[in-house]
Structure formats: C-alpha cells, structure tokens
Amino acid sequence: MLGVPRVSSGELFRDHQKRNTELGRLARSYMERGVLVPDDVTVEMVITWVTAHEDEGGFLLDGFPRTLEQAEALDRAMAEKGGIDRALNIKVRREELVRRLAGRLICRDCQASYHAEFAPPRGPGRCDRCDGELYQRDDDKPKAVDKRLQVFFDETAPLIEYYRKAGILREVEGEGTLEQVGKALMQALKG
C-alpha cells in the first residue's frame, strides 16, 4: 500500500533467533520472560535494518521504538537523513489487547499467523498453507501478554507525549473494523 519496506521489532528478533545470531540468542532470553529486550540490542538490530533499506523511499517500523532511550537513539541515527516524519499511536483498550494477543497462533513450519477467534485455521491445530503444527508463542500466552502490557504502560506510553511534543504523533482508534482502522491508518500516514 505505501510502497516502502516495513518491519517489526518482533520480526527482527525472530529473524536473528532463527539465524542463531548472538543478538538473537540474547533477545530470546528476554522475550521468554515477557520483558523488553534491552535498548542497545534492539537499537542495533533496527538501525542495521534501516541502513540496509535507506534507499527505498522510506520505511515503516512496527513496535519500535518502545522506550524513550530507543526513540532518542533512532532520532540520532536518522538526524542526517531527515529524521522521522510520523509516529502512530493505535489506541486499543487493555482488555481488547489481551484478547487479540493471547489468541494468536503461528505455524511451526511456514510461520503463517492465525488467531483462535478472528482468523482460525480450517482444521484445529494445523496450518491451512502447509499442514504444519500450530503453536502459541511463549510471549503470546496470557501471563506473558499481561506482563508485556504492563511493561508497555510503564515504559512505552511516555513515547506518546515525546512524539506529541515533537509534533509528529498521529493517533488512530484501533477498535473499529479492519477496514475502518486501515483507512484511518493510511490517512494518518499520508496526512
């Protein structure tokens, strides 16, 4: 839709874990406990990815930055390239976040994503694409989700004010239909 590369910090963590890099092993040790990966590890992964895609007309980061320190590191890294032009905050109630996150299922083989309630597979426990086994990641189990959300409210929520003060925050209501939220996101990104 936007024609720019997109990556989530979680995808970067899983990629590094799959390749068994030092950063991946380190990230895994934190993710399994439901706590944020330290800033220096996360920042290194993200800045490396951004640098590899800097000639593609922009980029979209999902789930990064998550702390003020990460935001400041990103600002420093991007200062010579024109900086960050938009930060999005998708507003969703905590109860809804738990419901959404704790229902996610992933295929062990092809990594296809499902949701027990919103996008279930045709057959229980099996991937529609490759018939691989579906599982719930440790960080998507209810206890870890609750801990992740508490970490978010403690450490990530201050970014809303940080980007509001910078004049680049766009807030989008995230509890409408997929089409409504998608349209609002596109307007926020383009506007």
| 107 belongs to a structural domain | no
| 126 belongs to a structural domain | no
Tell me the whole-structure pTM to 2 decimals: 0.72
How confident is the model over 183-191, as a mean pLDDT? 89
| 151 belongs to a structural domain | yes
Write out the residue range of the structural domain in which residue 59 sits: 6-102+141-182
- Beta-sheet strands, E only, within the chain: 6-8, 60-62, 87-91, 104-107, 113-115, 134-135, 169-173
- Tell me whether residue 57 is exposed, middle or buried, using C-beta atoms within 10 angstroms of its C-beta: 0 to 12, 13 to 18, 19 or more: exposed
As for how many domains the chain has, the answer is: 1
| 134 belongs to a structural domain | no
191 pLDDT higher than 80: no
How confident is the model over 72-95, as a mean pLDDT? 89
Q: What does pLDDT average to over the chain?
A: 89
| 122 belongs to a structural domain | no
| 123 belongs to a structural domain | no
Q: What is the CATH number of the domain that holds 59?
A: 3.40.50.300
With cut-offs at 50, 70 and 90, classify the pLDDT of residue 129.
Answer: very high
- CA 87 → CA 46, 170, 171, distances in Å? 16, 6, 8
| 62 belongs to a structural domain | yes
At 13-68, the pLDDT tens digits run 888 889 998 888 888 888 788 777 788 888 888 888 988 888 888 889 988 898 89
Q: Supply the pLDDT for residue 188.
A: 93
| 68 belongs to a structural domain | yes
CA distance 164 to 25: 35
100 pLDDT higher than 80: yes
Q: Supply the pLDDT for residue 30.
A: 86
1 pLDDT higher than 70: no
